[in-house]
Structure 1
Amino acid sequence: MKMPVLLSLLAAASLLSSCDSTPRERQEVVERETQKLDTLAERAADKLRVAGRRAARFDSVSRVRNRQPLDPAAEQAFSNELLGSYSAIGSLTPATIEPAFVQFMQQVRARRKQWSQRDWDYATAISRQLNAQFRAVRLDIKGRDELHIRALQTEFTALETSRDVKDLGEAVKQP
């Protein structure tokens, strides 16, 4: 049980057990307890207001970052790092698309903890290119490989979202 509720219950119990008090005395006790609860509610509202402002600031910074175009040279370098020999995404075939996704996700898993939000932007751009190539060759991919690719796509989205949630949580906690 939370402390304010416990205090209120104790106050109410003392009112019930004190039959010797007058209605005015009981009214004063109730007013004091109500003021305490109001103060606690105001503090909680202030904390929520601050957290809301910080979340809005985080969202604003994210929108500004997302509007900035990615550097093509940096994107190509990132693609080379994450995809290795599969970095020519447009030339991936039904036979090479699944190994390209596997390579991509192995590198994402290995590097994700050190990445900034901007690094995630580059990884997301590469993921979109892989997904576009996947759609282009999908009808010629074996069902088993397609299911594996879909699972890897889902994992990437989950990792990216968890990073966003973590960063938002840190932004809301910051003073």
Structure 2
Amino acid sequence: MNLFPTFRLLAATGVAAGAALLLTSCDTTPRERQEVVRDEVRNLDTLADRAAAKLRVAGRRAARFDSVSRARARQPISDADASTFANELLGTYAGIEQLTPATIEPAFTQFMQQVRARRKAWTQRDWDYATVISRRLNAQFRKIRLDIKGRDELHIRALQTEFTAMETSRDVKDLREAVREE
């Protein structure tokens, strides 16, 4: 067998370690190479076991986070707290069912300004209340959508998308933190 083309290929690709392996394998017996392979397989098994253990722990933490989230979602939203939250986020636009085609776009803008300003300090429960308010705004938007100017509708759609992105970002952040804990 002519090894010279192999050496040329290794040299061309800059793989000196490969060339060294070829040369050292010529100086060893099959039994010695077999032992080296066994050692490497043991090392790989150890690494795989460690990775599997980390994945099991992360999976348990993610499942715990999911069960806590589900339990929180099953808790009823207090109408009084939702009303208070709506007053804080919407100010003069808190009467969502009375919003008109002329006032719905400023209401969405007010809502998102407050969400942007407060979101970093919010708990998941605060996000639940904000989501309730967002759904109510969206329901009112759907009722009067045909009477809203195109420019205002586009702006509202952009604000709706921004809210969804912020809410999802918070969920992902909380999940990441839950998986990393301990």
One-letter code aligned to 1:163? R
2:61 is aligned to 54
**Structure 1 residue 122 displacement after superposition:** 0.2
Are 1:36 and 2:38 matched, yes or no? Answer: no
Q: Identity across aligned pairs (percent)?
A: 75
CA distance in 1, matches of 2:73, 2:142: 24
Give SS of 2:76's match: coil
**Structure 1 residue 17 displacement after superposition:** 2.1
- Taking only aligned residues, the RMSD between alpha carbons, in angstroms, comes to 1.6
Change (3 A) 1:79 1:10: farther
Of residues 23, 31, 45 in structure 2, which corresponds to 1:17?
A: 23
Of residues 100, 103, 106 in structure 2, which corresponds to 1:93?
A: 100
CA distance in 2, matches of 1:136, 1:34: 65
Q: Deviations over 1:17-45 (max 9, x none)?
A: 22221100010001001110111011011
One-letter code aligned to 1:116? T
1:108 is aligned to 115
Are 1:160 and 2:167 matched, yes or no? Answer: yes
CA distance in 2, matches of 1:73, 1:163: 25
Structure 2 gaps, min length 5: 1-14
Q: Deviations over 1:124-145 (max 9, x none)?
A: 0000000000000000000000
- Structure 1: which 4+ aligned runs deviate by more than 6 Å? 9-13
Of residues 171, 177, 180 in structure 2, which corresponds to 1:170?
A: 177
CA distance in 2, matches of 1:105, 1:131: 13
One-letter code aligned to 1:16? L
Larger Rg: 2
1:3 is aligned to none
Q: Deviations over 1:38-63 (max 9, x none)?
A: 11011011111111111111011000
One-letter code aligned to 2:23? S
CA distance in 2, matches of 1:174, 1:74: 31
One-letter code aligned to 1:129? R
TM-score by length of 1: 0.92
**Structure 1 residue 71 displacement after superposition:** 1.0
Are 1:84 and 2:91 matched, yes or no? Answer: yes
CA distance in 1, matches of 2:29, 2:120: 65
Change (3 A) 1:77 1:13: farther
**Structure 1 residue 11 displacement after superposition:** 8.8
Are 1:45 and 2:60 matched, yes or no? Answer: no
TM-score by length of 2: 0.88
